[in-house]
């Protein structure tokens, strides 16, 4: 079974103050259920590596699991911290991407770049349905089933987020998601470690990359920062290779990270523009093959 762990960064509200988020990112990780245990175990070891206090023998496993390294805190470290703080964040993000590559995880999702008007009321629900279509296509290609675990918000927000999918699954005329065993369910990141990994990808990578790529025209917004461009330069090529792409019966290419730019109507590929996609990936694989050491562990 393929499990899709979904998280979000940002909101649907209009841009009013300098702290408002320029984008709403809803994305997640798709992992084979047989690989989830290994992914989670190795991520717990990463927590110990970057938070040495968690490596003490007196720390209980339950405390290690519930302690979260938030993507928003990593962004703040890149945006406001010094060289050592940025270096620590980049090292953690690189190690996290290593885990996704080792577990053959895929990244799916949508990014809504805000324009002059607030996003549609049902933007979250429509996006979840679109990601369900991606998971359906991936499950069908793998000849297996799938399930979605969404990071829980509030009940008033949770129910509308999946009501559309539930309705479509039981409507007359057929189920558009035959490979999905159930409508999306909800979990809490302090109990589902894979949601913590999704948070680092969504909030620590995709959100700052989207802000830098699409929202440079905004004035006096704390989320427009040159350091976010370095995140895109360092990790864009690796993240792009984690996308799951597929072709519909009509020949249309779909999947991966889809960007809805309501500000300037720019294409999704701009998210990765200027990333050294081919050469960067080749150099990265060559370094790993030759066992060249990466940056020394730094406490975040």
Domain spans of the chain? 2-289
pLDDT for position 244 = 82
pLDDT for position 249 = 67
pLDDT for position 291 = 56
Q: Which residues have C-beta within 8 Å of that of residue 104, sequence separation ≥ 6?
A: 31, 32, 35
Q: By 3-state DSSP, what share of the chain in percent is helix, strand and coil, each rounded to 5?
A: 50, 15, 35
DSSP assignment of 183-212: S-EEE-TTT-HHHHHHHHHIIIIIHHHHHH
- Which residue, chain included where needed, has tokens 């990601």? 131
pLDDT for position 112 = 96
Segments in the chain below pLDDT 50: 276-285, 293-300
Read off the pLDDT of residues 241-267 as tens digits, 9 standing for 90 and up.
Answer: 999 877 766 767 677 899 999 988 999
Closest by Cα among 11, 16, 228, 18 to 112: 11
pLDDT for position 218 = 83
Tokens of 69: 């390294």
Distances (CA, A) of 269 to 2, 132, 240: 26, 22, 10
Distance CA 281, CA 275 (A): 10
pLDDT for position 286 = 53
Tokens of 112: 């809504």
Distances (CA, A) of 62 to 54, 58, 65, 185: 11, 12, 5, 23
pLDDT for position 49 = 95
Tokens of 128: 């979840």
pLDDT for position 276 = 47
Read off the pLDDT of residues 108-162 as tens digits, 9 standing for 90 and up.
Answer: 999 999 988 889 888 999 999 999 999 999 999 999 999 999 999 888 788 888 8
pLDDT for position 290 = 57
Closest by Cα among 205, 238, 191 to 74: 205
């Amino acid at each position: 079974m393929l499990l899709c762990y979904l998280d979000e960064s940002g909101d649907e509200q209009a841009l009013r103050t300098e702290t408002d988020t320029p984008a709403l990112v809803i994305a997640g990780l798709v992992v084979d259920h047989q690989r989830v245990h290994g992914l989670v175990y190795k991520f717990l070891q990463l927590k110990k590596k970057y938070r040495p206090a968690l490596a003490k023998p007196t720390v209980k496993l339950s405390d290690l699991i519930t302690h979260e390294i938030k993507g928003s805190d990593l962004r703040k470290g890149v945006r406001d911290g010094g060289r050592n703080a940025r270096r620590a964040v980049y090292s953690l993000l690189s190690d996290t991407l290593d885990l996704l590559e080792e577990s053959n995880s895929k990244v799916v999702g949508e990014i809504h770049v805000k324009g002059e008007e607030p996003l549609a009321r049902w933007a979250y629900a429509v996006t979840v349905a679109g990601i369900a279509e991606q998971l359906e296509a991936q499950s069908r290609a793998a000849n297996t089933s799938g399930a979605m675990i969404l990071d829980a918000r509030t009940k008033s927000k949770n129910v509308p987020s999946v009501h559309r999918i539930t309705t479509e699954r039981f409507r007359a005329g057929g189920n558009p998601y035959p490979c999905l065993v159930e409508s999306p369910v909800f979990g809490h990141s302090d109990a589902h470690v894979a949601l913590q990994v999704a948070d680092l990808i969504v909030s620590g990578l995709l959100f700052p990359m989207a802000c830098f790529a699409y929202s440079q025209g905004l004035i006096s917004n704390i989320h427009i920062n040159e350091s976010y461009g370095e995140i895109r330069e360092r990790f864009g090529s690796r993240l792009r290779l984690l996308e799951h792409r597929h072709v519909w019966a009509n020949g249309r290419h779909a999947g991966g990270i889809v960007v809805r730019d309501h500000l300037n109507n720019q294409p999704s590929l701009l998210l990765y523009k200027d990333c050294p996609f081919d050469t960067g990936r080749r150099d990265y694989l060559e370094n790993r093959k030759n066992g060249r050491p990466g940056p020394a562990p730094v406490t975040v």
